[in-house]
Amino acid sequence: MVSDIVITGIGVISALGHGIEATADRLLRSESGVGKMRYLKTVHTEIPVAEVPFSDDDLRGMLGIAPDFSITRTSLLGRVALREAVEMSNLKKVDNQRIAFISGTTVGGMEKSEQFYKDFLENDKRNEYIALHDCGACTDMIAQEYPGRITMQTTISTACSSAANAIIFGADMLRCGRTDLVIAGGTECLSKFHLDGFNTLMILDSEPCRPFDKNRHGLNLGEGAAYVVMETRKHAEQRGIRPICQLSGYANRCDAYHQTASSPEGEGAFRAMQAALQSAGLQPSDISYINAHGTGTPNNDESEGKAMMRVFGDKVPLVSSTKAYTGHPTSAAGAIESVISILALTRNFVPANLNFSEKIESLNFTPVTHVMTDVELKHVLCNSFGFGGNDSSCIFSKID
Amino acid sequence: MDTYIRAASQISMQHPLTEEWMDAPILPSAVFNEPLDPDYKQFISPAEARRMGRLLKRAVAASLDTLQKGNCTNPDAIITGTGLGCVENTEKFLNALIDNDEQCLPPTPFMQSTHNTISSQVALKLQCHGYNSTYSHRGTSFDSALLDAIMQFQLKRISTALIGGYDEMTPAYFKMLAKIGYWRSASADLASLKQAGMTGSLACGAAVSLLLTNTYSPECLCRIVDTNLFYTHNPEEQSSLIHSFLQQHNLSETDIDAVMCGFSGDDNNDSVYHHLLQSNFPDTTALWYKHLFGESFCASGYGVYCAAICLKHQQIPEHLIYQSGQNKPSSINNILVINHFHKKDFSLTLLAPCSSSTPL
């Protein structure tokens, strides 16, 4: 094992609810979070989505934020997830340490900007939200959840792999000795902007999504946030916190094929998975479970599946996509699915790939269709792929 | 581990893709400035150009020009900073969405609206399957991309990296930011940018590209000793972070021959540099660049770029000097580039001549 980076805290909010217990519980009961739209104000109310089951006011209440304080939904979700991760990792007790906060987002403040855009241009009613529009503003607003403690922050925006790349960048900072602790992940809320965008690309399923199914017809958008706390094993030992698992390998590669589509043979995905294995010093046969990117679009699932076959040959490990639970939370996907991978790894279960009925002809594997418990998992590979061919893979492993 | 800047290019309000600004700077004449576009035909076919927004065209042209200058066909990593991403396409899609009540929307502006469009289009153009990332963190977006590249070198994963900072300013975004105090209200002249008590700066889109390598070659502009990012509101801590950053490299403040600062003419912004110069560099010459390249979320890239060009030519043009210090070094060795955003996000980049570590 090359890596000495451990995870000491995780926090999550998604369509499955708030917190790791709610998330694990819903996964173990195979309960999807995809359903009818409640909070997003759009004309396309018929499109199924995976909304976080809390209004902005609910989230403000959970955080103790005043009703008149200007903050975007992306930042609210981020703060809720950050709080859980920080508490689990006992970070409030940490003194005089360098703490880097790396957050991924693409929507940023768009969900408010699209509501107030005409105000931005024509009057002064909503000026406070102008400064909250960009991705960096979203990160800065989340960092304020933990005032005076973060010593470096930045924002990654590589579309649907943003959060995975935030985790990767944070891990590199630790390896380079540039920080003592990292809080990394991502946040995204639903917006009309990207719902309409994905809709014009005709990749939204009008039914709950069917990852890896022959008749899959697109994705369901989701929202949420998740963060992991990372440090070196030595650092965790010194401050007396028990690691949850380790981040044993990771890689970022580019498909360089098309602005939105994946290459037919999954070149970027293949390279990302292979390089992640190499960085972990693992063989393909060491992987016990793959939490796939598996969006449910015809293009992604076949391309990702082909890439898995290139890496794993005729021995593709247990595979499931959890997009049918959380929808596709775009920039937050890499972090939410990292948390799901960590829960699966540490609690020895494999979530079911919901809504699967028929195998994709060109692939040599089918996903796990019923939740498996009491499976001994050692290494879990988590894939996150984005527009522009920004493909990243992370491997989480039990502490050895 | 040494990292060098082997080549650099820029598109801005200065003559595009050249270093003409060293001898013949173009001074801004407006609050809202547009970059001067080069002839794109040498980099992009007309058919390709039609599908690209202007930010994308600038990014591709600056990137390809840098690679040509650095004699590199395919870098190991492509890392981009962009504070706002492809604003023109974002606005196109957003306006259509609002005006047409979310019906019959054009897909292309959406496809090219994500922040990572730039990095991925450059990768697509070069068929580069290597490390590819995009940072969108306001005034330290470029700086984050630079830090990432430096770490990839430090971890010995790459030997070349193409990094860049790209932002565009549209009339609508300019208007929005004007409302929250970003820009000078009156038409600005150069003298007023140094005048105390003024707020707001001059806007201009940014496109600045650097090719980094881990091996020295004669065309290299300079060496990047290190770069780092900090987040703190505390002015005393900001000052001590500079001191410890230099100390890590066995240097003290007096070893710095010039400090490149992000003075923009906005008192809220400039006061931070005044404070740090006073506390850490009372006798050192301070340089600036935003009077020639304007303010944008990626403007800090020009700070590193200008410092690199000065090191290469061993010459600091008079027009880059914000204030002369008592210390008059006979040669230019260390230049520290200091950048901050809103008095809390900081970056420090230390540059030195190639020759100071490498026998020629």
Residue B161 sits at the chain A interface (C-beta within 8 Å): no
Q: In whole angstroms, give the CA distance from residue A55 to residue A360.
A: 38
Mutation target to probe the B interface, by most B beta carbons within 10 A, among A126, A145, A200 is: A200
Give domain B3-213's CATH number out of 3.40.47.10, 3.40.50.12160, 3.40.50.970, 3.40.720.10.
3.40.47.10
The one catalytic residue in A18, A133, A135, A160 is A160
Alpha helices in chain A (DSSP H): 20-28, 56-63, 73-88, 110-122, 135-143, 162-175, 192-200, 233-238, 267-280, 298-312, 323-326, 333-347
Q: Do B136 and A201 touch (CB under 8 A)?
A: no
For residue A114, the chain B residue with the least C-alpha distance is B94
Q: How many Å lie between the alpha carbon of A191 and the closest alpha carbon of chain B? A: 11
B231 close contact with A: CB closer than 8 A:
yes
A160 in catalytic set: yes
Percent of residues, chain A, with pLDDT higher than 90: 98
Closest C-alpha among B166, B342, B212 to residue A157: B166
Q: Give Cα A84 to chain centroid, integer Å.
A: 16
Structural domains of chain A, count = 2
Q: Is B180 on the interface with A (CB under 8 A)?
A: yes
ipTM here: 0.98
Active site residue A209: no
Residue A243 lies in a domain: no
Q: What is the pLDDT of residues A230-253, one digit of tens each?
A: 999 999 999 999 999 999 999 999
The pLDDT tens digits along chain B (360 residues) read 799 999 999 999 999 999 999 999 999 989 999 999 999 999 999 999 998 999 999 999 999 999 999 999 999 999 999 999 999 999 999 999 999 999 999 999 999 999 999 999 999 999 999 999 999 999 999 999 999 999 999 999 999 999 999 999 999 999 999 999 999 987 666 778 888 889 999 999 999 999 999 999 999 999 999 999 999 999 999 999 999 999 999 999 999 999 999 999 999 999 999 999 999 999 999 999 999 999 999 999 999 999 999 999 999 999 999 999 998 888 999 999 999 999 999 999 999 999 755 443
Same domain, A172 and A266: no
In angstroms, the separation between the Cα of residue B212 and the nearest Cα of chain A is: 18
**Residues A293, A379, A382, A394: which is the catalytic one?**
A293
The last residue of a domain, from among A188, A219, A238 = A238
Chain A contact set for B139 (CB, 8 A): 136
Nearest residue in A to B109, CA atom: A197
- A87 & A14 share domain: yes
* DSSP per position, B129-144: -SEEEEE--GGGHHHH
Q: Which residues pair with A328 in a beta bridge?
A: A221
Is there a contact between A196 and B110 if contact means CB atoms under 8 Å apart? yes
Residues A68 and A154 grouped into a single domain: yes
Report helix, strand or coil for B174. Answer: helix
B114 contacts A135? CB cut-off 8 A: no
Q: Is A293 a catalytic residue?
A: yes
Q: Cβ contacts (< 8 Å) between A47 and chain B: which residues?
A: none
Q: Mean pLDDT per 10-residue run, chain A (400 residues)? A: 84 98 98 97 97 98 96 98 98 95 98 97 96 98 95 98 98 98 98 98 97 98 98 97 98 95 97 98 98 98 98 98 98 98 98 98 98 98 96 96
* Residue ranges covered by each domain of chain B: 3-213, 222-354
User: Tokens 């030595």 appear where?
Assistant: A234
- Residues A350, A370, single domain; the answer is yes
For the domain made up of B222-354, the CATH class stated in words is alpha beta
* Per-residue confidence (pLDDT) for residue B197, from 0 to 100: 87
What's the pLDDT at B328?
A: 83
Q: What pLDDT does residue B358 have?
A: 44
Q: What are phi and psi of A343, to 5 degrees?
A: -65, -45
What's the whole-model pTM score? Answer: 0.98
Whether residue A276 lies inside any domain: the answer is yes
- Nearest-Cα distance to chain A for B25, in Å, is 32
Tally of CB atoms within 10 A around B68? 16
